[in-house]
Structure 1
Amino acid sequence: MAMQQPRSPRWVVPTTAQKIWHQFWRDCHKLPTVVWRRWFGTLALGFGLTALLTAIITLVAKSQQAKGMQAWDEQMLLAIAKQAPLSFAQGITWESPGSLIGMLPVVVTFVAIAASRSRPLTAATMTVAYVLQFALAWLGWGLWNRERPDLIAGGIAAPSLHSFPSGHALVVCTVYGLIAFLWIRASRSLFERIVAIAIFLLGVGLITVSRLVLGAHWPTDIFAGLAIGLVWAMFLAIALSRAEAASR
């Protein structure tokens, strides 16, 4: 009687990831070329315009630093740190969902769910949203090597990296903004849509205010990151909607 060979161990995560990837690839090929062409064209235009906006905002802010903007930033940062309803310790907690480590699991989980449910356009849009927001932040940092604040706790929570625009503000507006858009679009309840908007605003507000409480950014860094992130999220929503319309 032949002896059965022992089965080799199978890891759940790699196996599941492989299945999701194959399903995503098959679903991508099922969509007509015109769908991807429209998606890519809209995204390329949107990213170019957002990059242009990033450059303009950065260069204008840089030119205004010595004309009163820096003094205003210092006054506002101290006032916010003093009057904000968050303590320094609470700021460390609330800024975490907007960090690279905190945001990556959200993006990976979202993409995996979208791909497993045969929504390749949604999965691809979120992936591009997350990856290219880094390029937008790097563009601003390359144009202006602004120093971080050292007014709060001696700058202990301010990393020695470029300050303008705020990467936290940019990524939370991009990722959570796209999620909020999909939630609002899928719902037929006005109340639920209001709840989605409120959760988005509350989450973004807590994360960005926490960065100020920690003294990790100047207020204008935050405002710039929010503006760039919202514009990028808007173009992502437009690209996804146009591609889905073409697929129908």
Structure 2
Amino acid sequence: MFNRLVSSRHVQKAHAFVTREAPLLAAIAIIGGLILAFLQIADEMVEGEMEAFDRSILMLFRDPADIDQVVGPAWVQEMVRDVTALGSFSLLGLIVLAVCSYLLLAKMREAALLVLVSVIGGTILSTLLKMSYNRPRPDLTTMSHQFTASFPSGHAMLSAVTFLTLGALMARFAPTRPLQILSISAALFLTVIVGVSRLYMGVHYPSDVLAGWSLGAAWALLCSTVAALLQRRGAVERPA
């Protein structure tokens, strides 16, 4: 009888541990999968195995009669320029500055620091990878001037880092499940449209954008996971 009781308690403790740690284990698995996806894309890009895929996707946004011309009327092109600006360093910097200022005024210093570390760390990582791979931009007439290498897409990666980090932060402090879903959905939507805008403008290959999304999402999820662990220890403010 005593042995059964002890065994039952062990089973209950094990079940409680798995239940408590399941989100953390899932996050680690997803982060690992995203990093592997980035490495796979990078490896195939270096070996030239992405050329056919990249070109076929880029041509979807080009006039078959003149590949130097994008499809769609002038107002669509102007709208795409506005959308792609959402992933620019200057605009993302202003967003992060505003968010961190709000968090500091709300006496949430640790949360502000996590946002800052996430975005600055993602920016440094993106810059180092661009310098490492040094991939030339697509040989197409584009709608803007570019001064950095192509792989990975800085706009795609930094928009994923910034919007997904902020979306996860808002979701943790959202009082209801619908608001949590809205926060994450809005972050995903903004990340996707910024990446697609880079393809429409012809300034990046699809593999650049996919790599940027993969690594940016991995970095954002890593920072969010660290924040959740710090919340457990009381080092970061808990949601209301």
Pairwise TM-score range, normalised by the shorter structure: 0.7 to 0.9
Q: 1:107, 1:146 → 2: CA distance?
A: 28
1:118-166 deviation line (CA, Å, top 9, x unaligned): 1121111111111111221123212211111133xx1352514200001
Q: 2:191, 2:72 → 1: CA distance?
A: 15
SS in 2 for 1:148: coil
Is the 8 Å Cα contact of residues 110 and 123 (structure 1) preserved in structure 2? yes
Q: 1:219, 1:84 → 2: CA distance?
A: 19
Note closer, same or farther for the CA distance 1:187–1:129 as it changes in structure 2 (3 Å cut): same
Deviation at 1:189, TM superposition (A): 2.1
Match of 1:178 in 2: 165
1:151-182 deviation line (CA, Å, top 9, x unaligned): 3xx13525142000011111111111011112
Amino acid at match of 1:240: A
Match of 1:71 in 2: 52
Cα RMSD, aligned residues only: 2.7
2:93 aligns with one of 86, 104, 110: 104
Match of 2:82 in 1: 93
Q: Percent identity?
A: 23
Note closer, same or farther for the CA distance 1:87–1:54 as it changes in structure 2 (3 Å cut): same
Match of 1:195 in 2: 182
Deviation at 1:205, TM superposition (A): 1.9
Deviation at 1:57, TM superposition (A): 4.7
Q: Please give the residue correspondences for 1:17-28 in structure 2 after superposition, counting only pairs within 5 Å.
A: none
Match of 1:133 in 2: 122
Q: 1:158, 1:64 → 2: CA distance?
A: 27
Note closer, same or farther for the CA distance 1:55–1:229 as it changes in structure 2 (3 Å cut): closer
Q: 1:114, 1:53 → 2: CA distance?
A: 34
1:73-99 deviation line (CA, Å, top 9, x unaligned): 011111145678983221111111110
Deviation at 1:117, TM superposition (A): 1.3
**Unaligned stretches of 5+ in structure 2?**
1-31, 63-69, 236-240
Deviation at 1:210, TM superposition (A): 1.1
Match of 2:148 in 1: 161
Match of 1:231 in 2: 218
Q: 2:71, 2:174 → 1: CA distance?
A: 37
**Unaligned stretches of 5+ in structure 1?**
1-48
**Is structure 2 residue 49 aligned with structure 1 residue 62?**
no
TM-score, normalized by length of structure 2?
0.73
* Higher RCO structure (Cα 8 Å, ≥6 apart): 1
